[in-house]
Amino acid sequence: MTTLAEDELTMPGSPDIYLEIVRTLPLIPANVELDFYADGIKRSYHDSPIQTEQYVIQCRERGIIPFSELKLKYDCDWGVLLPSFGLYDNILSLDKSRTWEQIKEARSSLLSGRKINKVGIVSDRINENDFREIKDLAEELVSKGYTLLGGDLGLSVYEGIRDAGIRFGFSGHAGVKMYLTEHVDTPQLRSWFEQLRQKAAGQQRLPTQ
């Protein structure tokens, strides 16, 4: 059997395009990872002390809990997205690099009922109903002021290994990449991506004077 080379398609990215990918993807993904941020405020893990302090001030002004994260993982037995309570999961991502003032600010914000900064959605196994719930929650988060800034959708798993997918917004890369293999490569999928690429290009085009 002839093995087709992996093909990578790209396009410009934006939160609107990221959400449109989730809304209109013409197949059920094998797995999903989505990252939403309150008011689009995203902290870099490599920020300088000054940048971190600016992040804390920005969160305070917007009513957001700094350094906070909630991971929602799809539970196949219950058929619902539930908070993940793994070994390293914590609502406040605080460590010894934070100053006492920053820790106090985050704790006070949490007790005051402010918004969580980052909400992540993770699912390893998905059927049609699961993906519908994920899409519904994505819409709800956006309606509550959250912005989708990162995503990773697995399109195919072959012999236990994911071999096709769509990634956007991760590692400081604002664009979208879809990589296809012989196991997932259809005219419908390519046509869908091309329509989104044209829409993304239109968003980038400056208005004429």
- Convert the pLDDT of each residue in 145-176 to its tens digit: 999 999 999 998 776 677 789 999 876 567 99
* Residue 148 pLDDT: 97
Give the residue from 55, 20, 7 showing the smallest Cα distance to 151: 20
* Residue 98 pLDDT: 64
Instruction: Assess if residue 164 is contained within a domain.
Output: yes
Average pLDDT value for the chain: 82
* Residue 171 pLDDT: 62
* Residue 70 pLDDT: 86
- Residue 87's pLDDT band (cuts 50, 70, 90): very low
Q: Write down the pTM of the prediction.
A: 0.83
Q: Percentage of the chain with pLDDT > 70? A: 78
* Residue 103 pLDDT: 67
Per-residue burial over 38-69, b if 16 or more Cβ lie within 10 Å, else e, is bbebebeeeeeeeebeebbeebeeeebbbbbb
pLDDT at 114 over 90: no
Which residue range forms the structural domain that includes residue 34?
7-204
* Residue 125 pLDDT: 77
Instruction: Assess if residue 209 is contained within a domain.
Output: no
Tell me the average pLDDT across 100-106: 68
Tell me the average pLDDT across 174-191: 87
Tell me the average pLDDT across 36-53: 88
- Based on the structure, what is the number of domains in the chain? 1
Instruction: Assess if residue 143 is contained within a domain.
Output: yes
Give the residue from 166, 153, 149 showing the smallest Cα distance to 11: 166
From residue 24, alpha-carbon distances to 74, 75, 206 in Å are 20, 23, 26
Q: How far apart are alpha carbons 202 and 92 in whole angstroms?
A: 39
Distance between terminal CA atoms of the chain? Answer: 56
Place of tokens 């939160």: 15
Q: With contact defined as beta carbons under 8 Å apart, do 98 and 91 qualify? A: no
Instruction: Assess if residue 59 is contained within a domain.
Output: yes
Instruction: Assess if residue 142 is contained within a domain.
Output: yes
